[in-house]
Chain A
């Protein structure tokens, strides 16, 4: 893999990160009013003048704008995001607690949605216009049109409200069980929110895979393979699908930001104790330190994923890194 390609992509990711940092800084300071009042607006506890002065100093708000930026950059890069005005805990520790539930939820949902989405897309494209293709395309469009939060509520009404098949939210029943029982307990709590995200994104993946494969199916090398007499199944498996898979997987990587965003409202519906629920509560309480930190974290995650996608793509497809 070309070192130049790697360097260019990494530099690009760093520049994007710098832009996000600067954007976050200015967004907060160009707003009318005093940042500290804005910060404290949602505060549940009363702020003493000493406390306000202390926060002002911590965040550098008592200094001129350029110096404020230096303090802001320093604080951000070293992971000091101040305190949550609602719980009075440090934002870093609040976030650290919430990361793993979200990784579990978003990770499992992405894997399942990708797997079944690609499968349905391949099957649909290969039998274009058939019963499976028509049904899956229509189903994909309907799922794509449904807001994730609403989908979650529907599943909750059906499977918890009407059938009582699953627990009604949170991540565990908190009965102190260990080992296998605990894992099963978490899985039963995970099932519905995970399914919600899967349903919310599987349609998109199916459509992307389908159109990508359709495009490849019109290429000359596929016709060549058919003309050579390669069996249909083999044409699909070794000639068409690998070439269609690459752009699709890149798009799946790129869409990571959306599934992360979708998790906010789904976690709120299921009280899943991850970053999404944290964000949801922070919005309700106007807890700006938390909102800012989550914004930076989400952006960082998406930038990292895009970089990973670029590198993988460059590694697998020599045409890209030469360009």
Chain B
């Protein structure tokens, strides 16, 4: 027994705290330490996935390009009026990816376009996640009539072909960046909502939720402190995949001529090339590179998403 021992060598060790501990910790610090540990364990598993790591590195590079890249492109390089190149120039040492119909360097356009493409991808994902997680949690947590109604809504949106809905909305609302973001969000939240609802339904039945309720926790408290944190992993993996889908959706809308004509995105560059007859004229440098960028960035997010899914979703783990 410690109290009988004249020289206690070390304080009792909390199971939760393997390192740097002196006095008993506050619950908050214990919680943070546990989260830190969970995160490092997660990272250890994630690091083993080659697909996930390749995707992550590519993803970081693309985000860097979108954040930093446009600062290195002078405004006149991508201006219709002040571009210095000759139109339709094939790639040379000076114009690495050639020029477009206004004599703008395609390389500069791609660097500038990375920002719009990623902004639309991320912003549309935020809309999708807020709608999907909100409706999914409300549906699963409250149950009853709310669930019936929201679930019916979700099923409807799952069935309506997204492209038809997007076309109708975009042609009525008009092509601005904000509208495109909203349209992609509104047409793609249903899958997330279904996933989150299923997870919320199982979390709701767990004992700690009952305990929180017994101690007088209200609906909002229970959702914020117990349901949401436990639904979060599912949302997280889904988010990464949704970014990929949103970037693809933006490309599709741009190719249909429903993109924002005032901002340069990768899909927009391809559309401009298509409209300008680059296909029949054989201006391949104007069409292939922006598409390759789209493929690579979607690939990066998809690979990360699958790797996350394999860790988080136990059904997919290798047996």
Contact indicator A295/B167 (Cβ below 8 Å):
yes
Please pick, from B161, B255, B284, B299, the residue contacting A157 in the complex, using a CB distance under 8 A.
Answer: B284
Binding site for A on B (CB under 8 A): 152, 155-156, 159-165, 167-169, 171-173, 244, 248, 251-252, 255-258, 267, 270, 274, 279-280, 282, 284, 287-288, 291, 294-296, 298-299, 302-303, 315-316, 319
For A306, the closest partner residue in chain B by CB is B159
Secondary structure type dominating chain A contacts: helix
Contact indicator B160/A20 (Cβ below 8 Å):
yes
- A97-154: which have CB < 8 Å to B? 141-142, 144-150, 153-154
Q: What's the least CB distance linking B168 to chain A, in Å?
A: 5
Contact indicator B256/A280 (Cβ below 8 Å):
yes
Q: What's the least CB distance linking A307 to chain B, in Å?
A: 10
Q: How far, in angstroms, from A157 to B287 measured CA to CA in the complex?
A: 10
Q: How far, in angstroms, from A202 to B160 measured CA to CA in the complex?
A: 22
7 tightest A-B CB contacts, nearest first: A261-B163, A257-B161, A145-B298, A150-B291, A298-B164, A149-B255, A145-B299
Contact indicator A154/B295 (Cβ below 8 Å):
no
Please pick, from B164, B299, B303, the residue contacting A295 in the complex, using a CB distance under 8 A.
Answer: B164
Q: Give the residue among B279, B288, B299, B319 with the most A Cβ atoms within 10 A.
A: B279
Given A147-B252, A150-B251, A284-B257, A27 contacting B167 (CB threshold 8 A): no
Binary interface encoding of chain A residues 10-21 relative to chain B, with 1 for a CB under 8 A from any of its CBs, else 0: 001001100110
Given A279-B167, A291-B168, A146 contacting B294 (CB threshold 8 A): yes
Q: What's the least CB distance linking A284 to chain B, in Å?
A: 6
Q: How far, in angstroms, from A154 to B152 measured CA to CA in the complex?
A: 41
Q: Does A252 contact B (CB under 8 A)?
A: no
Q: What's the least CB distance linking B242 to chain A, in Å?
A: 14
Contact indicator B156/A19 (Cβ below 8 Å):
yes
A218: chain B residues within 8 A (beta carbon): 319
What are 23 contact pairs spanning A and B, CB under 8 A?
A: A16-B155, A19-B156, A27-B169, A141-B299, A142-B295, A142-B299, A145-B248, A146-B294, A147-B251, A147-B267, A147-B294, A150-B251, A153-B270, A153-B287, A157-B282, A157-B287, A161-B282, A264-B167, A283-B167, A283-B256, A288-B171, A288-B172, A291-B168
Binary interface encoding of chain A residues 281-309 relative to chain B, with 1 for a CB under 8 A from any of its CBs, else 0: 00110101001101100110011001000
Q: What's the least CB distance linking B42 to chain A, in Å?
A: 22
Contact indicator B172/A38 (Cβ below 8 Å):
yes
For B159, the closest partner residue in chain A by CB is A16
A146: chain B residues within 8 A (beta carbon): 291, 294-295, 298
Q: Give the residue among B159, B165, B257, B284 with the most A Cβ atoms within 10 A.
A: B159
B315: chain A residues within 8 A (beta carbon): 215
Please pick, from A38, A258, A283, A292, the residue contacting B257 in the complex, using a CB distance under 8 A.
Answer: A283
